[in-house]
């Protein structure tokens, strides 16, 4: 039996077991996907003994994404540029390989849900400068975005990110986020604002062109106040759950040998668990 897990601290909130468990059943695979609560001081030992614990690979969630990258023998370009890993597998020689599939997940979902984001290739506005913003900047630049405006409450974090990603990324004051939208064909929220229990994101969308796309990485609730405001203006709105589902695809394929499909049924299955925690 093939076994994989998600490693976090805490790990209870992770929805990865629901996604991978659905696919294991759907494809009739003799496999298992488990939750492993691992404290930061125990991570290195856990990863060094992954195989002996019976695992072919793992997902990694907070707070282990950076440490998992450091613990791996090799890493793909996405993980190295983003500076964090979310997917691990053992190479045939037993060495740990780190990947980051967040950018893949975001871009695959965006291209599926709103392929028009690329038309005209206006500027893109990214809100936030944490780990999620880093993954999304990598994905957008790799996909050909030539100008990304980056706004974050703490300006210095946005400046650090912009310096890493080069001249395509330009920092905009957090207070100027609404007016700067007039040049943008795509707005992406990577902050935690709008999540259940958090304040909504305050932004005036009226400057956005009529064909612009608004994407949120928050998926609980599925329809954030930002996405509701976008839809009310007739703009295309892309929710954060699609990114979560698509980022799981490469790991599942590596561990279990089947490339799984993201379907409306899977989405409905995961939506039914939202709000339960
Ligand atoms: P992650 O790695 O998941 O992206 P993070 O590093 O904690 O998480 O980043 C959270 C993002 O949400 C940051 O950009 C944060 O802004 P700061 O860098 O100024 O902290 C943003 N954020 C969180 N709460 C916010 C709030 N009340 N107003 C504006 N931005 C907020």
At residue 31, φ and ψ (nearest 5 deg) are: -150, 175
Residues 16-74 pLDDT 10s: 999 999 999 999 999 999 999 999 999 999 999 999 999 999 999 999 999 999 999 99
Residues 196-242 pLDDT 10s: 999 999 999 999 999 999 999 999 999 999 999 999 999 999 999 99
Q: Which two tokens stand for residue 95?
A: 């060495």
Of all protein residues, the one whose alpha carbon is nearest to atom 5 of ligand 1 is 130
Q: 65, 118, 147, 267: which is the annotated catalytic residue? A: 65
Measure the CA–CA gap between 227 and 237, rounded to whole angstroms: 6
Catalytic residue check, 65? yes
Could you tell me if the CB of 240 is within 6 A of ligand 1?
no
Is residue 248 within 8 A of residue 57, CB to CB? The reply is: no
Could you tell me if the CB of 199 is within 6 A of ligand 1?
yes
Atom of ligand 1 nearest to the CA of 132: 4
Measure the CA–CA gap between 52 and 29, rounded to whole angstroms: 21
Peptide bond into 98 cis (omega under 30): no
Could you tell me if the CB of 62 is within 6 A of ligand 1?
no
Residues 74-104 pLDDT 10s: 999 999 999 999 999 999 899 999 999 999 9
Q: Looking at the predicted structure, is the pLDDT value of residue 276 above 60?
A: no
Mutation to probe ligand 1, out of 65, 84, 128 (largest number of atoms < 8 A from CB): 128
């Amino acid at each position: 039996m093939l076994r994989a897990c998600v490693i976090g601290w805490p790990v209870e909130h992770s929805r990865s077991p629901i996604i991978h468990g659905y696919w294991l059943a759907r494809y009739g695979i003799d496999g298992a996907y488990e939750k492993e609560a691992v404290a930061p001081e125990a991570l290195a030992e856990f990863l060094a003994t992954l195989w002996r614990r019976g695992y072919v690979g793992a997902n990694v969630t907070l707070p282990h994404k950076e440490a998992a990258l450091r613990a791996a023998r090799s890493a793909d370009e996405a993980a190295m540029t983003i500076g964090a890993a979310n997917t691990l597998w053992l190479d045939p020689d037993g060495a740990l390989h780190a990947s980051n599939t967040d950018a893949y997940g975001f871009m695959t979902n965006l291209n599926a849900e709103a392929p028009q984001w690329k038309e005209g290739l206006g500027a893109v506005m990214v809100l936030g400068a944490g780990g999620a913003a880093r993954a999304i900047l990598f994905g957008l630049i790799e996909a050909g975005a030539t100008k990304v405006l980056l706004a974050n409450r703490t300006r210095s974090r946005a400046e650090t990110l912009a310096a890493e990603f080069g001249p395509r990324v330009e920092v905009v004051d957090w207070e100027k986020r609404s007016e700067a939208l007039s040049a943008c064909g795509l707005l992406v929220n990577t902050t935690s604002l709008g999540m259940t229990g958090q304040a909504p994101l305050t932004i005036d969308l009226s400057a956005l062109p009529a064909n612009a796309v608004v994407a949120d990485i928050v998926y609980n609730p599925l329809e954030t106040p930002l996405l509701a405001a976008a839809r009310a203006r007739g703009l295309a709105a892309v929710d954060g759950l699609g990114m979560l589902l698509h980022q799981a695809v490469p790991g599942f394929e590596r561990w279990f040998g089947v490339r799984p499909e993201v379907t409306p049924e899977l989405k409905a299955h995961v939506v039914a668990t939202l709000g339960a925690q």
